[in-house]
């Protein structure tokens, strides 16, 4: 018996559902495969034989190669170093669990242009979760920003920036010290997405790449940005944009601007800023990661040539 595949479904997800549908334990199915291919490892690893899984599931060849529209944008030589979903260089995003209402209750993993929120069912589906959303309008807006603006900057749910943003937002809130990333992201998703969006805009990129900008200035920027997205208004967000400028050899921070509304201080770093300062180099590296240029991969078989390589 076959399964109905979802767009962008992963090899592992198709394999698992195929085994379940046919009431065959996954290990047993793997043993059968290994009879024909004795060089495969003992451990069940269908990811090693995507072509074979395509055949077993009666999927069109190249199914697991994915769709271009699902690829995360990268900067590469083929588009003159602008961000694009170049069919040669752009990778598929990491696997994400799909909304259970969309899959009629089945656990399904896909690598497509989605984040953590199902807008249709107003559900949180990140990392196997399946919960109703309370502030659903904020979450749906964040999801749209992640799969739109951020995606086109090369930022996906698991490329590191959202995890960093969640850590930074929580650095301002001492009450939630021992939460792990996944539940923390569920609490702070709208703010985390806003923080990533703000701190990866062109002016921020220019500020963070400027060699005259030091760790204290990085911490000042991030502190102001965290304050603006968590407690501020759109006016405060604009003030952050206007306050941190780095042009050529000059790095200018407009400290007279009302970016420190949370503590009402006008100079120096506040408590949050001092905490951010401790991981300023990492902050800088992660916020600039999406600007890295990508070399074309040495070898990536195209769907048309895959059958020949079997
Ligand atoms: Zn390319
Ligand atoms: Zn759904």
**120 inside domain:** no
In angstroms, the CA 159 to CA 213 distance is 25
Domain boundary among 48, 64, 80: 64
**Distance, CA 68 to ligand 1 centroid (Å)?**
12
Q: What's the whole-model pTM score?
A: 0.87
Ligand whose nearest atom lies closest to the CA of 87: 1
**Distance, CA 56 to ligand 1 centroid (Å)?**
32
**Distance, CA 107 to ligand 2 centroid (Å)?**
12
C-alpha distances in angstroms, 48 versus 11, 37, 52?
9, 12, 9
**Distance, CA 146 to ligand 1 centroid (Å)?**
22
The phi and psi torsions of 209 (rounded to 5 degrees) equal: -85, -10
**Distance, CA 143 to ligand 2 centroid (Å)?**
13
* Structure-token pair, residue 82: 């602008």
**Distance, CA 200 to ligand 1 centroid (Å)?**
22
Whether 296 has a pLDDT exceeding 80, the answer reads: no
**Distance, CA 63 to ligand 1 centroid (Å)?**
21
**278 inside domain:** yes
**Distance, CA 278 to ligand 2 centroid (Å)?**
40
Ligand whose nearest atom lies closest to the CA of 97: 2
Cβ atoms of residues 40 and 49 within 8 Å: yes
Domain boundary among 64, 91, 107: 64
**Distance, CA 271 to ligand 2 centroid (Å)?**
40
Ligand whose nearest atom lies closest to the CA of 71: 1
**122 inside domain:** no
**175 inside domain:** yes
**Distance, CA 293 to ligand 1 centroid (Å)?**
10
Ligand whose nearest atom lies closest to the CA of 85: 1
pLDDT at 306: 40
Query: Do both 46 and 171 map to the same domain?
Result: no
pLDDT of 115-141, one tens digit each?
A: 999 999 999 999 999 999 988 999 999
pLDDT at 278: 87
**Distance, CA 144 to ligand 2 centroid (Å)?**
15
Ligand whose nearest atom lies closest to the CA of 103: 2
Burial class (CB in 10 A: 0-12, 13-18, 19+), 25: exposed
Whether 271 has a pLDDT exceeding 70, the answer reads: yes
**Distance, CA 295 to ligand 1 centroid (Å)?**
7
**194 inside domain:** yes
Under the banding of pLDDT at 50, 70 and 90, the label for residue 160 is very high
Across all residues in the chain, what is the average pLDDT?
Answer: 88
Q: Checking phi first, is residue 154 left (phi over 0); if not, alpha (psi -120 to 50) or beta?
A: left
Whether 246 has a pLDDT exceeding 70, the answer reads: yes
Indicate if the alpha-carbon torsion angle 165, 121, 130, 12 is positive or negative.
Answer: negative
Q: How many domains would you assign to the chain?
A: 2
In the chain, what percentage of residues exceed pLDDT 70?
Answer: 87
pLDDT of 59-102, one tens digit each?
A: 999 999 999 999 999 999 999 999 999 999 999 999 999 999 99
Task: Give, to the nearest 10 degrees, the angle between helix 202-209 and helix 215-231.
Answer: 160
* Structure-token pair, residue 174: 């001492």
Under the banding of pLDDT at 50, 70 and 90, the label for residue 251 is low
**Distance, CA 78 to ligand 1 centroid (Å)?**
4
pLDDT of 194-215, one tens digit each?
A: 999 999 999 999 999 998 888 9
Ligand whose nearest atom lies closest to the CA of 89: 1
Under the banding of pLDDT at 50, 70 and 90, the label for residue 179 is low
**28 inside domain:** yes
3-state secondary structure of 109: strand
Query: Do both 164 and 290 map to the same domain?
Result: yes
Whether 23 has a pLDDT exceeding 70, the answer reads: yes
What are the start-end ranges of the H helices in the chain?
11-21, 26-36, 50-56, 136-145, 161-171, 181-199, 202-209, 215-231, 234-243, 271-278, 280-288, 303-309
**Distance, CA 54 to ligand 1 centroid (Å)?**
26
**Distance, CA 5 to ligand 1 centroid (Å)?**
28
**243 inside domain:** yes
The domain in which residue 195 lies consists of 160-294
**Distance, CA 159 to ligand 2 centroid (Å)?**
23
Q: What is the largest CA-CA distance in the chain?
A: 73
């Amino acid at each position: 018996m076959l399964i109905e595949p979802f767009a962008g479904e992963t090899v592992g997800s198709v394999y698992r559902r195929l085994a379940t549908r046919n009431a065959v334990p996954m290990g047993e199915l793997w043993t059968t495969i290994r009879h024909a291919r004795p060089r495969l490892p003992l451990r069940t690893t269908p990811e090693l034989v995507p072509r074979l899984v395509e055949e077993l599931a009666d999927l069109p060849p190249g199914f697991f190669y994915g769709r271009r529209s699902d690829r995360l944008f990268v900067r590469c030589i083929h588009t003159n170093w602008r961000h694009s979903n170049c069919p040669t260089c752009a990778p598929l995003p990491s696997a994400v669990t799909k909304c259970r209402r969309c899959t009629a209750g089945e656990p399904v993993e896909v690598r497509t242009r989605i984040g953590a929120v199902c807008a249709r069912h107003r559900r949180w589906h990140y990392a196997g979760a399946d919960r109703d959303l309370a502030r659903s309008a904020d979450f749906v807006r964040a999801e749209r920003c992640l799969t739109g603006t951020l995606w086109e900057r090369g930022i996906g749910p698991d490329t590191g920036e959202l995890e960093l943003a969640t850590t930074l937002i929580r650095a301002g809130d001492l009450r939630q010290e021992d939460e792990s990333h996944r539940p923390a992201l569920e609490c702070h998703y709208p703010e985390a997405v806003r923080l990533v969006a703000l701190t990866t805009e062109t002016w921020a990129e220019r500020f963070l790449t400027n060699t005259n900008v030091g760790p204290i200035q990085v911490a000042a920027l991030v502190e102001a940005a965290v304050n603006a997205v968590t407690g501020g208004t759109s006016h405060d967000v604009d003030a952050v944009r206007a306050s941190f400028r780095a042009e050529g050899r000059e790095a200018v921070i407009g400290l007279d601007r009302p970016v420190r509304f949370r503590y009402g201080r006008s100079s120096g770093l506040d408590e949050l800023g001092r905490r951010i300062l401790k991981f300023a180099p990492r902050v800088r590296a992660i916020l600039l990661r999406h600007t890295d240029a990508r070399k074309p991969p040495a070898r990536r078989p195209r769907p048309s040539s895959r059958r020949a390589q079997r």
